[in-house]
A and B are shown apart, each in its own frame.
Chain A
Amino acid sequence: MSANTAPQSLPKSDGASLLTVTELTTEFRTAGGTIVANNRVSLWVEAAKILGIVGESGSGKSVLCRSILRLLPSPPAHIMGGEVWFNGRDLFKLSEAEMQAVRGVEIGMIFQDPMTSLNPVWRIGDQITEGLRVHKGITGKEARQIGIELLHKVGIPSPQTRIDDYPHRLSGGMRQRVVIAMAIASQPKLLLADEPTTALDVTIQDQILALMLQLQEQTGMAIILVSHDMGVVAETTDRVAVMYAGQVMELATTDAMFRNPQHPYTLGLLNSIPRIERKVDRLIPMQGQPPNLLKLSRGCPFANRCPVATPDCAETPIALREVEPGHYSACLYPERVSA
């Protein structure tokens, strides 16, 4: 429950950062206590690049995305600190009306379950064009035309007919495409994708990711891709943040992270990935469970599961430090992480 107090060497982009999150702390106050879901989270995304956020369930990935867009209901969630700089403005200082002008227009967000992300009583065409009407005042035939083009862009066949379909006529993969179409309708500069492929089967997952990459190339949109699937992250992202128990454990380019992880948790994640090309008798999971967020210790939340922990790991507050140029780790002893 105690918030991390160590000073961080803040990840610095070279000024090309589109979104910079600095020491974001979000708490949930519940009857059982206070949960620090995001604990001084710092990271950044550059324009037209893809940042992956990877971590177990409960690591705070989704809460992070929702905190950025201020979608969390205010009791019980409270943003206790930090700044989110986007396009020269701190999003936390905006009024609700100004935030509504940012959501959907400058920053889009898509969610995990396509089966429930669409309003069941509206046709998909109307759902897509609603954003155009609200934010840009485009209505009628023009909006419908843009809707058809968007559907075409996201790979829906026969868009002129399908635009009048209700969501229940679409499969999961197609619904997710529609959701993506809605999110990009106003051409946002940043897309927050909260596990967009987790609820889809693997072949569709591939298609959706390819679609997102394609859109990203075409429009120069930046993406924050949240996933618990290392494979997805490896293929798709430029840089990665690893989260655990509400804190960022490692932040690096995807390449550097996979080749040379500087945190035992990251190493553990990489080792636990089943390999199809090798025949093994046993997989190598990480021992233990993520900590109870109601009862966090002062030190590293990973200490009790860490194979290379030292006695003071559980006592010393952690912080992100630059261990190599552009490669940040929150481990107190990154040198003990041998690849």
Chain B
Amino acid sequence: MNVETAYQTLRTGKVSDAMFGVVHGVRTWPFSLKSGAAIVAVVALLGVLAPVLTPYDPIVGNYSEALDPPSLAHPFGTDNFGRDLLARVLYGAAIDLQIGFVATYVPLVIGVALGAMAGYLGGWFDSLLMRLVDLLIAFPFLVLIIVILAILGPGIQNMYIAIFAVGWTLYARLARAEMLVIREQEYILAARALGYGRLRIIFRHALPNLIGSSLVFSMSDFVLNILLASSLSFFGMGVQPPAPEWGAIVSDGRDWLLQAWWIATLPGLAIIVTGLGLSLIGDGLSKILGQRNNPAL
């Protein structure tokens, strides 16, 4: 199958043109998008290749090497259990990226779908959904999550359930607001005049146009979710020890700050760098999405 055929297949298949159009033109990406994507790609790669990159075990440590400062043998030093910190950070990359991704994009899909439908259909569906959103947003986010976790018990799965139950609301509001504008656009009226049904119009015609703001927001949300996972680990409710989730490492490191500053700070650096990469992606995305609607840019 040559490139041309692959191109055609991809294009006429189910992949939304909006997404394909973005991926297709990497060369034309703004610098922020390229650099952000590069950073995140490197972090992801490091996480995936962690077992290959480091001989140390992130879970079981060597007590005789506990609290060693950064050195050639341990570039990031060791923690109080004698575990190599670099190894923990590398293995943690996979965990944190996964948590961030799932905690961001599952609520995004749910929220955008519901919000778009509410915005377009209006009526009782809209009222019902928005009242539900109001209800959930009335509680402080973290408090709600903790309550749900207290009921369900700790662990990654339950953390996901709690985040899904609450996180979709942000995206629902964003998507609904955009939809209220988009449904007045003439191409939506034209789509109705062509006899397309409501669901088709909502999901195929309106959605690619309204998802921009949600995607840009999702980059911030990604970072925030990583931090959320850390906070929950602090309470012992999210990722359970000994899993090397960055926030958990930072949190544990607080007890050793004066003796072993590297335990708290170096994983913190990893969070910062990842967050930077994601923010750059968000920046670049908002540029591209702005360009699409305004050819002058």
Contacts from A to B (Cβ < 8 Å)? 69, 71, 97, 99-105, 108-111, 113, 116-123, 126, 130-131, 134-135, 139-140, 144, 164, 166, 168, 179, 182-183
Chain B's closest residue to A144 (CB) is B12
Chain B interface: which size bin? 20 to 34
B140 CB-CB contact with A under 8 Å: no
Question: Which residues on the B side are within 8 Å of A144 (C-beta)?
Answer: 12
State which of B46-54, B84-92, B193-201, B249-257 sits at the interface with chain A. B193-201
Q: Decide: A134 and B195 in contact? CB cutoff 8 A.
A: yes
Give complex CA distance A182, B189 in Å.
13
B21 surroundings in chain A (CB, below 8 A): 121, 166
The contact of A118 among B17, B187, B196, by CB within 8 Å, is B187
Residue contact A71 to B187, C-beta cutoff 8 Å: no
Give the interface of B toward A (CB within 8 A): 11-12, 17-18, 21, 185-187, 189-197, 200, 204-205, 208-209, 292-293, 295
Task: Please determine whether A104 and B18 come into contact, CB atoms closer than 8 angstroms.
Answer: no
A135 to chain B, nearest CB (A): 6
The one of B11, B17, B191, B193 in contact with A121, judged by C-beta atoms closer than 8 angstroms, is B17
**Given A113-B186, A116-B185, A119-B205, also A126-B194 (CB < 8 A):** no
Please tell me if the beta carbons of B187 and A119 are within 8 angstroms of each other in the complex. Answer: yes
Which residues from B are CB-within-8-Å of A122?
Answer: 17-18, 205, 208
Q: How far is the CB of B258 from chain A (nearest CB, A)?
A: 55
Q: A131-B196, A134-B196 are in contact. List 7 more A-B contacts (CB 8 A).
A: A103-B194, A116-B187, A119-B187, A119-B208, A126-B17, A144-B12, A182-B194
**Are B195 and A135 within 8 A (Cβ)?**
yes
CB within 8 A of A140: which of B12, B208, B293?
A: B12
Evaluate contact between B209 and A105: CB separation under 8 angstroms.
Answer: no
Residues in B with CB closer than 8 Å to A123 are 11, 17
Question: Shortest distance in angstroms between A186's beta carbon and chain B's nearest beta carbon?
Answer: 8
**Complex formed: what's the CA distance from A308 to B204 in Å?**
55
Q: Cβ of B190 and Cβ of A179 under 8 Å apart?
A: yes
A-B contact pairs, 25 of them (CB 8 A): A99-B195, A104-B193, A104-B196, A110-B190, A111-B186, A111-B189, A111-B190, A111-B193, A113-B186, A117-B187, A119-B187, A119-B191, A119-B205, A122-B17, A123-B11, A126-B17, A130-B194, A131-B196, A134-B194, A144-B12, A166-B21, A166-B292, A168-B292, A168-B295, A182-B194
Contact B18 A121 (CB under 8 A): yes
Asked if B194 and A183 make an inter-chain contact with CB atoms under 8 angstroms apart, the answer reads yes
B194 and A117 form a contact (CB under 8 A): no
Given the interface contacts A103-B192, A134-B195, A183-B194, does A117 sit within 8 Å of B292 by beta carbon? no
